[in-house]
Amino acid sequence: MVKKSIFAIALLGMLASVSMAGDGNYDPGTGIGSVPGQYKIDGQWPYVCTVTWTPVDICTIKVYLKIGMFIEIDNCANLRIDMVQVNCPGGQSFPCYKKCITIKVRSNFAAVITVRKGALQTNNIINGDSKWKVYFRADASDPGPYGTTWNILGDGNWKTLDVCVEAWDANIFNGTPGQNPQVGEVIISAVPASTVCP
């Protein structure tokens, strides 16, 4: 009977150790749990449940952009017209000066471009407002027609045209030889080509 009792106690001790080894948490201080380097668990392996939600579109919002009227003269800040002496055409008094430069313009609306004389400089090299003129011409390969208005399409593409200045009966004695003083200004303006109110 004693042998049977000892065997039963030994069996219970072995079952208890198996049960303790199966909890998956090894504590080196007490020696309870899985042996380092080993893992045993009775039941389902531990896991973290990750749910991936599928987005559901519930609203589509339309986006609008208010487009303003935009017109641009390329590199305007650096444009300048340096007139040079030319032979005087009929009706103009010596000495005569002329120069045309090509400008690039683009717009997102149909526009009418105009050119006009601005202020003369106080050096009076141009001999009064009636002794000079400004105008457009189509481009450098086309000497005419002359005019102060030009229509541009509003397609956003660059268009080129020439801005020309002529002066005659100039007071060249008011300047210093070899210098290139400013004598006046040219102003370019634009208005929409449409005559219909928005």
What confidence score (pLDDT) does residue 180 get? Answer: 93
Residue 152, domain CATH: 2.60.40
Instruction: Give the count of domains, the chain.
Output: 2
Structural domain harbouring 152? 71-192
Q: Which two tokens stand for residue 78?
A: 């650096």
pLDDT band at 27 (very low <50, low <70, confident <90, very high): low
Question: 175 and 135 in one domain?
Answer: yes
* Domain identity same for 35 and 76: no
pLDDT in tens, 90-101: 889 999 999 999
- Domain membership of residue 15 (yes or no) is yes
- Residue 64 located in a structural domain: no
Q: Does some domain include residue 65?
A: no
Q: Are residues 119 and 178 in the same domain?
A: yes
Report yes or no on 79 lying in a domain: yes
Q: Is residue 61 part of a domain?
A: no
Mean pLDDT of the chain: 83
Q: What average pLDDT does this structure show over 155-167? A: 94
Rg of the chain on CA atoms, in Å: 46
Summarised one tens digit per residue, pLDDT across range 83-92 is 999 999 888 9
Within 10 Å of residue 21's Cβ, how many Cβ atoms? Answer: 18
Full DSSP string of 93-154: PSSEEEEEEEEEEEESS-EEEEEEEEEEPTT--S-SGGGEEEEEESBTTB----BSEEEE-S
At residue 22 the predicted structure's pLDDT band, cuts being 50, 70 and 90, is: very low
Does 62 reside within a domain?
no
Residues 89 and 168 in one domain: yes
Q: Give pTM, 2 decimals.
A: 0.69
